Structure 1
Amino acid sequence: MLPDPMTPRPLARFSLFESSDLDEARERVARVFCPHRLDMIGRGSFDACHNHVSGERLSLNYIQYGAKTLIAPGELKDFYLLQIPLSGGAAISNGPDHYYSCPDKAAVLNPHLPTTMIWDEGCRQILVKVEREALQDHLSQLLGSGASKPLTFSGPLDLTSDVGAALYGLIMHLVTEADNGQVMLSSGGLLARQLESVILSGILEAGQHNYSRYLRPTRSAAAPRHVRKAEEFVRSNLDNPISLDDIANAAGVTARSLQLGFRNFRNTSPMALLRSERLRRVHEELMAGAPGASVTEVATRWGFSHLGRFSQIYKAKYGQSPSKTLQNGASIGFSD
């Protein structure tokens, strides 16, 4: 669904430009970010807008293009970019990572990996540009030592998790306050710097990256052996018809004990884990977009026989229909 044209644009008081000219939009956006390729690939009306608020180590931005667009900046080099869709979504290719970003799944673009994106028609996004050195230094402070390898994010950032929702809430609060005339990041004072630090910490805690295991404890270490054995059995038998009793037998406990263990240490159930892992496999195959692949064949092969119910749970988890994922997967392998 396309956004209502009467809906106020975030950060409207801080407009950099509005234009229906593709070349002008490309040049003006590049002034804040970096040179990039920008092409219309859809039939919609091109209606570009960029609003911008600067801080010391990061900036808040609102961007829309109206039409479906291909954006290819290559390597961002000097900054990480958190992209939060307010409506619509974007197919993301960042190095070896390929995924779809939507209102509950933000994207974090790594500066040292080549990026190509397709923004859907009607896609509207809040973008947080973070200086690469600032985020790397903040990571080192949290680790208590220097980070020897480049900070590298993988996959989308889940805005429905506790920390993801908190990060989203803080960013949108700052946007709202700026719209109301209170530009908290531009004050240059201690509060502004602390707010920036909270955002940097939120990105590091909510995102998945090569230092995640050092920043937050995992529950897996404390889980009892039968829970870990059950998880191993489930992940090794995703393509087999297995039941709760099968999982419990493999773990060496009763079904009731297994359910209690999962509830206490994983906040889920064994069968929910099975469904989630199978759903992930379906998602991976649909995103791969293999020639001749069909949603029905892939879903059935991974144990989803009720296609109507499957479509509902898939859309609830990934923010789009399985057929849309397959379509995006088939189109994301573009080069020129």
Structure 2
Amino acid sequence: MQVGGHISVEDRHYSAGPFSIWAGMCHSGMKVTFSRPSDAFVLYLPHSSAMEIDVGRKRLLSTPGTAMVGNMAQFEKLTIHENRGHIGIAFEKSAMVRQLSQLLDAPVLGDIDLCATLETDSAVGSRLAALGSLLWDCFDGEDRVSTTATTHLFQAAMVMILESVPHNYSARLQKPMSPAMPRNLKRAIEYMVANIAEPMSVAEIAREAGTSVRALQTAFQQFKDTTPLNFLRQMRLEGVRKTLSDSANALSIAQVARAWGFTHMGRFSAIYHDAFGQTPSETAKLHSRRGAGVASSRSTDSSR
């Protein structure tokens, strides 16, 4: 992150595990360029002046009455005007992904594309603003509130954001979810996601989920139409494909495969081809060519 010019800032900041909250006032104004992505989501609740954030070709403007929420990994430039004041709330990416996974009852393997503004006099905006003020009072008031209570409030803010602010998983969230989804199945999937690269057996997964092997197999067959290990393998394959599809990926195919829990390269290549109709090297080459094409296009544009 690069900050330009002389700045004058007042700031009070508090952290609680994967969450943080602050109240800031930037008297001088400043511009910030993000050279490295930040693994956090942020909610800005302004009370004075303006702030702009460039996200790709889109520029978001936050002024009093307009809150802003976004995935900081997508931020390119932030411009803070003189005498800008706001409450900011940050949620680590791991916490937001875990919350979305719980809402979906499924693993979240891709990025959450979430950058938007919302009016604080709208139903959602007013609730978020009230929740932000309540959280700030919990930390900055005379009587501090317990960590358990504030954690629940941060989680409530994440749920409100994920359910109310449009993003690339919104359509899936709107689909009716089965109320009969057993808790042990949710715990099994959470354990798989958290230990995706580690070898694991059905017995181990069942033990961590607090159920029997037979009950776990029945739950996966009923709700996911597959076996526990097939479900795990599909998650790993989709993870490999996403990584290989990233033109910025610098890892070898073997390194990517191992990072997602595959240790036998010959067997991995065969099941990858069966799943996607192409070899891992074909996936990598296809997207490296696309990335080179985009880079060439940008280079040509900049020379004009």
TM-score, normalised via structure 1 length: 0.48
CA RMSD after TM alignment: 2.3
| Distance change (3 Å), C-alpha of 1:183 and 1:213 | farther
Counterpart of 2:19 in structure 1 is: 58
Q: Structure 1 residue 216: deviation in Å?
A: 4.3
Which residue of 188, 193, 218 maps to 2:151? 193
Call closer, same or farther: CA 1:104–1:76 in 2, change over 3 Å. farther
User: For residues 97 and 155 of structure 1, do their structure 2 counterparts lie closer, same or farther at Cα, with a shift above 3 Å needed?
Assistant: farther
User: CA deviation digits over 1:18-49, x for unaligned, max 9?
Assistant: xxxxxxxxxxxxxxxxxx222248xxxx4311
Secondary structure of residue in 2 paired with 1:204? helix
Q: Which residue of 2 aligns with 1:209?
A: 167
SS at match of 1:145: coil
Once residues 57 and 110 of structure 1 are traced to their aligned partners in structure 2, the CA distance between those partners, rounded to angstroms, is: 15
Alignment of 1:71-86 (within 5 A): 71-86=32-47
Gaps of 5+ in 2: 176-304
Equivalent residue letter for 1:154: C
SS at 2:147 equivalent: coil
Matched residue SS, 1:155: strand
AA aligned opposite 2:52: A
- The runs of 5 or more residues in structure 1 that have no matched partner are 1-35, 218-336
C-alpha distance after superposition, 1:242-298 (max 9, x if no partner): xxxxxxxxxxxxxxxxxxxxxxxxxxxxxxxxxxxxxxxxxxxxxxxxxxxxxxxxx
SS of residue paired to 1:205: helix
Equivalent position amino acid for 2:18 in 1: R
Structure-2 change in CA distance of 1:47 and 1:65 (3 Å): same
Q: Could you tell me whether the CA contact under 8 Å between 2:31 and 2:80 is conserved in 1?
A: yes
**Larger displacement relative to structure 2 (156-165 or 81-90):** 156-165
The answer as to whether partners of 1:60 and 1:126 remain within 8 angstroms in 2 is yes
Structure 1 equivalent of residue 183 of structure 2 = none
* 1:2-32 deviations in Å (ceiling 9; x for gaps): xxxxxxxxxxxxxxxxxxxxxxxxxxxxxxx
Within 1, Cα distance between the matches of 2:147 and 2:158?
17
Report how far residue 92 of structure 1 moved: 1.2
Alignment partners' CA distance in 2, 1:122 and 1:90: 10
Q: State the alpha-carbon separation in 1 of the partners of residues 173 and 120 from structure 2.
A: 18
| Aligned length in residues | 176
**Within 1, Cα distance between the matches of 2:15 and 2:99?**
19
- Of 111, 122, 125, 1:164 maps to 125
State, as a whole percentage, how many aligned pairs show the same letter: 23
Question: TM (normalized to structure 2)?
Answer: 0.53
